[in-house]
Amino acid sequence: MDQQAATENSCAKLTELALKCGFTNACAVDPSKISIYREVRDACTEDKCNSYGKNWACPPACGTLDDCADRIHGYKSGIIMQTTGVLSDEFDWNGMCKIGSEHSEHITSFSRAARLDYPYSMILGAGACHICETCTYPFMPCRFPQKMTCSMESYGMLVSEVCTGSGIPYHYGKGTITYVACFLIV
Ligand code: SF4
């Protein structure tokens, strides 16, 4: 099997695993085609999610934007994964939290299985890392550096563009919400 066929085969198997772990859609992504935007990273400094400077997975602890871009572009291939759900209305905060929690569960179960075959992989999700009830940042090292999940936004990715650029939608219609993650491999 040549290198390209082997990569396609790995991405197909990872996509199948992602769907088994509960994600509602997944497909291959080419890390070399992911653009990094300073404006996306700069939105973190507005601290709307109350995590800026409070979590090892968020800026500034996750590294400079150049470091993040180098890391992403150092991976050969990967997949993008989505959890889409339906809200009762656009202010359905409980619904957003529930679907967000389901997305985190999908990431945990996928990551546990996929990292057995790809120990040098990287997973990026949505929002700060919530593995521990309270993050150790900045006084102690991260408790689980191998499991820690940074957000795609903290790496400067425009999530909707990564989805559509890989061939899957980001918007699934009125009343839906979609959370996204990606898994990159060497
Ligand atoms: S694993 Fe724990 S200590 Fe490490 S970034 Fe996540 S919440 Fe913080």
Mean pLDDT by 10 residues, the chain (186 residues): 85 97 98 95 84 92 94 96 95 94 94 92 91 94 90 95 97 96 96
Q: Cα(126) to centroid of ligand 1, in Å?
A: 14
Residue-level pLDDT at 46: 83
Residue-level pLDDT at 74: 96
The total number of structural domains that make up the chain: 1
Q: Whose CA is nearest to atom 4 of ligand 1?
A: 142
Close Cβ partners of 135 (under 8 Å, ≥ 6 residues apart): 54, 55, 56, 57, 128, 129, 142
Tokens of 153: 């936004």
Q: Whose CA is nearest to atom 8 of ligand 1?
A: 135
Atom of ligand 1 nearest to the CA of 144: 1
Q: To test ligand 1's pocket by mutation, which of 133, 134, 144, 149 has the most ligand atoms within 8 angstroms of CB?
A: 144
153 DSSP 8-state letter: G
Nearest alpha-carbon partner for 172 in 99, 71, 63: 99
Atom of ligand 1 nearest to the CA of 135: 8
Residue-level pLDDT at 169: 97
Sheet of 77-86, strand order: 25-29, 77-86, 176-185, 122-125, 150-151
Residue-level pLDDT at 1: 67
- Can you list the positions of beta strands (E) in the chain? 25-29, 77-86, 122-125, 150-151, 176-185
Residue ranges around ligand 1 (CB below 6 Å): 55-57, 129, 131-132, 135-137, 142-144, 148
Q: Cα(18) to centroid of ligand 1, in Å?
A: 23
Domain that holds residue 144: 3-185
